[in-house]
């Protein structure tokens, strides 16, 4: 039986070391890679090209069955038609210009998609939505801490409520206790998406496709939790299952 191939978009490390020979390195989080292996998928990493015009999306999409968009830096607000506010963090333009059309093309080809943290925001933007550039500055109902540092990122710090008619509820239940490492969040929802989870102060914590099982995305980091909280591994298991269908 063929194992589904799961493509993971990458970030770039500019920290020099002896092994990298002072070169920038494309990478994906190890805990995501291990989770995909553990649930029976084969992970591959997709580096961002310098110029998106260099990408043959049709050929690229033929090499994998599912797409995982992990966490990372803030998304350049250019991609949702805004100017950067002073509170925005570091952005990675090469990843933005590759990842957003990649998500759009993956939808056309019916690929299964999972978004994590930045990933939920990238998916929403790819579908025509936008994000809060900074919750503390732009979200007036903010009542809990969504950027849990200096608390260790693997610890759950707040509850979420999950919609009963959602795919997410079948995976994690109607309520879950999750970690929280973000200062941005989905604002106006993109086309053909629905909200599946929220925090107690109303911040969107989960979205998925309205009319299919192709998209599921969460604001927290299940890759940091599944080693101690096995129910979080089900999100990766679900992606591999959807990718195999």
Q: Which residues are catalytic?
A: 117, 221, 223
Nearest-5° angle of CA 13, CA 216, CA 134? 55
Distance CA 194, CA 7 (A): 24
Contact 113, 214 (CB under 8 A): yes
**DSSP secondary structure, 177-190, as one string:** EE--B-S-EE-SPP
As beta bridge partners, residue 234 has none
Crossing angle of the two packed helices 234-244 and 30-38, in degrees rounded to 10: 60
In Å, what is the CA distance from 46 to each residue of 12, 42, 129? 11, 13, 24
The DSSP bridge pattern shows strands 158-162 and 175-178 to be antiparallel
């Amino acid at each position: 039986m063929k194992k589904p191939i799961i493509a993971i978009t990458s970030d770039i490390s500019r920290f020099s070391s002896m092994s990298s020979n002072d070169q920038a390195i494309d990478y994906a989080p190890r805990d995501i890679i291990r989770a995909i292996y553990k649930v029976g998928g084969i992970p591959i990493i997709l580096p961002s090209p310098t110029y998106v015009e260099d990408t043959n999306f049709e050929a690229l999409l033929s090499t994998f069955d599912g797409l995982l968009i992990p966490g990372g830096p803030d998304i350049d607000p250019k991609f949702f038609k805004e100017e950067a506010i002073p509170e925005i963090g570091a952005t990675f333009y090469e990843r933005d210009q590759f990842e957003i059309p990649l998500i759009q093309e993956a939808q056309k080809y019916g690929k299964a998609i999972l978004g994590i943290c930045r990933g939920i925001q990238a998916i929403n933007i790819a579908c025509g939505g936008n994000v809060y550039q900074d919750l503390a500055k732009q979200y007036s109902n903010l009542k809990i801490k969504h950027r849990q540092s200096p608390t260790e990122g693997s610890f759950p710090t707040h509850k979420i409520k999950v919609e009963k008619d959602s795919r997410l509820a079948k995976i994690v239940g109607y309520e879950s206790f999750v970690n929280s490492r973000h200062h941005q969040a989905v604002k106006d929802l993109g086309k053909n998406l629905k909200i599946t989870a929220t925090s107690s102060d109303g911040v969107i914590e989960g979205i998925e496709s309205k009319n299919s099982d192709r998209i599921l995305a969460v604001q927290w980091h299940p890759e940091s939790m599944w080693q101690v909280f096995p129910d979080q591994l089900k999100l990766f298991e679900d992606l591999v299952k959807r990718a195999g269908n």
